[in-house]
Amino acid sequence: MIYLDHAATTPVAPEVLEAMLPYFTRVYANPSNVHRPSLEARRALDQARQGVAGHLGARQASEIVFTASGTEADNLAVLGLARAHREHGDHVVTTRIEHHAVLHACDQLEREGFRVTRLPVDEWGRVDPQAVLEACGPGTVLVSVMLANNEIGSLQPVAEIAELLRGRGILLHSDAVQAVGHIPVDVGQLGVDALSLSAHKFHGPKGVGALYLKTGIRVEPLLFGGGQERGLRSGTENVPGVVGLARALDLACAGREERAERLRTLRNRLVERVLGELPDAHLTGHPELRLPGTASFVFEGAEGESLLLQLDRKGICVSTGSACSNATLEPSHVLKALGLPLQRAHGSLRLTLGRENTVEEVDQAAQALVEAVRRLRSLAPRSRS
Amino acid sequence: MYSPIVLDHFHHPRHVGVVSAATGHARLENPVCGDVVEFWTRVVEDRLEEVGFRAFGCAAAIASASMLAELVRGLSSREVLTLEAADLVEALGGLPPSKTHGAALAVETLRAALGEGVIS
């Protein structure tokens, strides 16, 4: 198998699994109690929190709230921050290419009476910081802009947005689920008030995420109960998951730049081969300001799901945002936001590389992809009317 | 997600391409999802002697056109017109509910090809 779907999820690193295992079987006590096994579990949580805070450049470990997923972290940020600051305003600004964890949370805010502005992006999938500022008014309480897009890999100018918003009393959240562990993410340098991440995107386990929440900022919890995570996220802590998240982040941050450089080289090789051999093939997203491992294309005359299945038959795992791949029969909201003609959006394909991929795998995938596109084009009606 | 029959027709489509001395032709597009299906037919003495297709779309669209071409070859026009999308879905070993429009487009296009008569 050649796995090129790392933006969807990544395999758990062996070192991460090893770090987690004792917390399933030996240190299984509930960290909320005061007997010694509980204290050991509590220590593991504290250490993990300290480690994550350090990697993100947070000032205090207490600024990290562990959740059960990136989606939950996004929901806690968007819903929790907006609801907690409702007395100051009822307006939220975001972009059209956010993950559904943010967009659907914004839909929920609208049902609760908030107003939401969803800003367009340019053809590279980047939002204009000035447009963010102009969208904000006296009633704006929250801006949510992702750090890196999951479909096309484009990076957003979050630090510039933070600079423009400074001193205006508007909270800034960034969904950094695709970014953490892959590009430098420092909450101080970004100037964000809240930032979401998810362990399984950087070789940690599924079922655990985290929200960075700057000290002093109020957030309304989504879950009520035992008051864990400073009352912000009730529910017995997922100790093995949190330990795994922290270990995975350690590994991801150690040697990140060299790894990113290697991924960029591999990705560029893939992109050049594919675009060099196929006419009417296009890279989506920004050519340079993008995640190191993300190659995303649209091909005219070859539908995305059909491409995916042809590659799957050769043991190559990729993703598509084409219309046929989802129940609504419409291309993904990200492809639509780029302003792609519908015809092109149908042929979208995303290949996301990871640390275990080799040059040989990339060459094999490029060759298979070129063949798959040619084959589907040979089946397609000649000139599309 | 797809039945082995669908995958077989998708990976090994039958009756692809233009039919010589075609007596009918149609090309329809689903404006929502973008699937395009094109059929050529050659009817001799009310028998569908030859049928060919081209398709752009997901595996369901391609497999539907391929299976339909295989099902109707040799039938009379009347027999072809009694075929419904549901029959095609059944012959394919089922399709996910969100994909049955692929079968419907194939059936509709073939009917149009038969109704169109001789290509000018």
Digit-coded pLDDT (tens) for A268-316: 999 999 999 999 999 999 999 999 999 999 999 999 999 999 999 999 9
Of A202, A230, A253, the domain-final residue: A253
Q: B69 — contact with chain A (CB < 8 Å)?
A: no
Domain boundary assignment for chain B: 4-116
Reported confidence tier of residue B77, pLDDT bands at 50, 70, 90: confident
Looking at the domain assignment, is residue A385 inside a domain? no
- A260 and A249 in a common domain: no
A29, A79: one domain? yes
Q: How confident is the model at residue A142 (pLDDT cuts 50, 70, 90)?
A: very high
Q: Which domain holds residue A116?
A: 14-253
Total structural domains within chain A: 2
Clarify whether residues A193 and A283 are in a common domain: no
> Which runs of consecutive H residues, i.e. helices, occur in A85-196?
100-111, 129-135, 158-165, 187-190
**Mutation site for A-interface testing, chosen from B12, B33, B100 by largest number of A Cβ within 10 Å:** B33
Query: For residue A333, what is the domain's CATH number?
Result: 3.90.1150.10
Comparing CA positions, the residue from A189, A194, A154, A192 lying closest to residue A72 is A194
Q: What is the ipTM of this complex?
A: 0.93
Report if residue A8 sits inside a domain: no
Nearest CA in chain B to A323: B33
Chosen domain end from A198, A230, A253: A253
Q: Render A304-333 in DSSP notation, one character per residue.
A: HHHHHHHHHHTTEE-B---GGGSTT-S--H
| Final residue before a domain boundary, out of A212, A237, A253 | A253
In a domain, A285, yes or no: yes
In a domain, A1, yes or no: no
Q: Which long-range contacts (CB under 8 A, 24 or more apart) does A161-165 make?
A: A161/A127, A161/A129, A161/A132, A161/A133, A162/A190, A162/A191, A162/A192, A163/A129, A163/A191, A164/A129, A164/A130, A164/A132, A164/A133, A165/A132, A165/A133, A165/A136
Clarify whether residues A248 and A291 are in a common domain: no
- A253 in catalytic set: no
Q: Do A28 and A94 share a domain, yes or no? A: yes
User: Do A118 and A179 fall within a single domain?
Assistant: yes
Rounded-to-integer distance, Cα A49 and Cα A40, Å? 14
Alpha carbons within 13 A on the beta-carbon side of A224: 2
In the structure, what pLDDT confidence band is assigned to residue A342 with cuts at 50, 70 and 90? Answer: confident
Residue A62 sits in the same domain as residue A190: yes
pLDDT tens digits, one per residue of A55-83: 999 999 999 999 999 999 999 999 999 99
B83-108 per-position pLDDT tens digit: 999 999 999 999 999 899 999 999 99
CA-based nearest residue in chain A for residue B66: A379
Across the interface, whether the CB atoms of A309 and B59 are under 8 A apart is answered yes
The pLDDT of residue A311 is 98
Look-up of token digits 């929200």: A211
Instruction: Give the distance from residue A303's alpha carbon to the nearest chain B alpha carbon, in angstroms.
Output: 5
Task: Inform me whether the pLDDT recorded for A240 exceeds 90.
Answer: yes
pLDDT band per the 50, 70, 90 thresholds, residue A323: low
- Judge if A226 and A308 occupy the same domain: no
Percent of chain A's residues with pLDDT above 70: 97
- Helix H or strand E encompassing A298: strand A294-299
Structure token pair of residue B84: 């419904």
Domain B4-116, second-level architecture: Alpha-Beta Complex (3.90)
- Rounded to 5 degrees, what angle do the CA atoms B1, B2, B6 make? 175
Residue A274, domain member (yes or no): yes
Question: Are both A152 and A72 inside the same structural domain?
Answer: yes
Same domain, yes or no: A342 and A197? no
Chain B positions in Cβ-Cβ contact with residue A343 (cut-off 8 Å): 34
Residues A172 and A301 in one domain: no
Residue pLDDT, tens place only, A161-179: 999 999 999 999 999 999 9
Q: Tell me the C-alpha distance between A255 and A203, whole Å.
A: 14
DSSP one-letter string for A117-137: EEE---TTS---HHHHHHH--
- For residues A14-42, give the mean pLDDT: 97
Closest CB to A306: pick one of B16, B59, B98.
Answer: B59
Residues A272 and A288 reside in one and the same domain: yes
Contact of A209 with A199, CB cutoff 8 Å = yes
**A342 touches B34 (CB < 8 A):** yes
Residue-level pLDDT at B34: 86
Please check the confidence at residue A92 and state whether its pLDDT lies above 80. yes
pLDDT in tens, B14-59: 999 999 999 999 999 988 888 999 999 999 999 999 999 999 999 9
Q: Characterize the bridge pairing of strands B24-29 and B36-44.
A: antiparallel
